[in-house]
Amino acid sequence: MIPAAFTYKRAWSVDEALDLAAQGGEDAKFLAGGHSLLPLMKLRLAVPETLVDIGRLAELSSVRDEGSYIAVGALTTHHDLATSGLLGQELPLLAHAAGEVGDPQVRHRGTIGGSLVHADPAADLPAVILALDATLVARGPGGSREIAAADFFHGLFETALAPGELLTEIRIPKPAQAGWAFQKFTKRAIDWAIVGVAVQGDAVALVNMGQTPVRAAAVEQALASGAAPDTAAAHAADGTSAPEDINADRGYREHLARVLVGRALAESRSRS
């Protein structure tokens, strides 16, 4: 299967990318690694008229230590995240989770920015940056703005980005609590998570338990009020609206969330 016809434009700078996107209007899309967008286009579930290839914007592909936070360029591939020494040291949760995305080929091409902007609640990294309280930097025709991860995911495949706005960087504060864990429950290694859990300290985020990645607020509250991890984990499904599909009904997903949060908290504490 092949995508419907479109016009391909290659950008050599962020400014040029924004210009090209503006010219393309509503039917323009940015193309990074293409591992969220191209599969949809091949199934003709997405039919953009213009693709603005931002893949050459080397300025967006870096992992930097900025003192209090780590700056991750939006074009950094999953593979580069997973093998980054700096991330391994400072943000092992992100490095580890990036190594669990898709398969090696996908990780060679797919980018963190692409994954976040695609906003699939079954994806791994959206929940991870939620647990890490990251800040997302977007640039549009009117300049840059910062968006808290908690405000970024608006719905199924929907984000806070305006049309023509480009995610350029993810700023992740160095965690105050060292313990972390990432639990991804799948039928097969290559599958999307049926349920996933990202834990950093006492922050807990869930994969595929709603229309967006969500923080397990009830778990975090229980922990904050001194509950033991096991007790807190029992609240993992509180307030969620898990989807139903061929892999799991809601009840099973909720059960998995409780089990996996329990395991993730135990694992996290063993690392702290």
Sign of CA dihedral 76, 2, 159, 50: positive
State the minimum distance, in angstroms, from the CB of residue 224 to other proteins: 26
The DSSP H or E segment spanning 223 is helix 217-224
- Containing 81, the helix (H) or strand (E) segment is helix 78-83
Closer to other proteins by CB, 9 or 171: give it. Answer: 9
CB of 10 to other proteins, least distance (A): 7
Binding of other proteins by 45 (CB under 8 A) = no
Instruction: For residues 251 and 97, give the distance between their C-alpha atoms in angstroms, rounded to a whole number.
Output: 25
Rounded distance, CA 103 to CA 82, Å?
12
Pick the piece of the chain touching other proteins (CB under 8 A) from 43-51, 111-119, 154-162, 233-241.
43-51
Based on the shown chain and the rule CB under 8 A, indicate whether residue 79 belongs to the binding site for other proteins.
yes
Q: Which stretch binds other proteins (CB under 8 A): 13-21, 47-55, 129-137, 211-219?
A: 47-55
Amino acid at 24: G
Give the β-pairing of 158-159 and 153-155: antiparallel
We find the least distance from the C-beta atom of residue 105 to other proteins, in angstroms, to be: 5
What is the rounded distance in angstroms from the CA atom of residue 29 to the CA atom of residue 110?
Answer: 16
By CB under 8 A, is residue 39 in contact with other proteins? yes
Q: Which amino acid is at 170?
A: I
Tell which residue, 207, 35, 239, 210, has the closest CA to residue 122. 207
Among candidates 272, 41, 250, which has minimal Cα distance to 178?
272
Binding residue for other proteins (CB under 8 A) from 93, 124, 185, 201? 185
Among residues 20, 101, 132, 194, which is the contact residue for other proteins, using CB under 8 A? 194
The correct pick among 12, 15, 42, 156 for binding other proteins (CB under 8 A) is 42
Q: Are the C-beta atoms of 265 and 199 separated by less than 8 Å?
A: yes
Q: Which of these ranges, 37-45, 111-119, 146-154, 167-175, lies near other proteins under the rule CB under 8 A? A: 37-45
Least distance in Å: CB of 188 to other proteins? Answer: 6
Inter-CA distances, 29 with 47, 54, 118, 185, 232, Å: 10, 10, 11, 31, 42
Using CB under 8 A as the binding rule, the residues of this chain from 241 to 270 that contact other proteins are 246-249, 252, 255-256, 259-260
149 versus 193: smaller Cβ distance to other proteins: 193
Positions touching other proteins (CB under 8 A) are 1-8, 10, 31, 34-35, 38-39, 42-44, 51, 53, 55, 79, 102-106, 108-109, 185, 187-191, 194, 246-249, 252, 255-256, 259-260
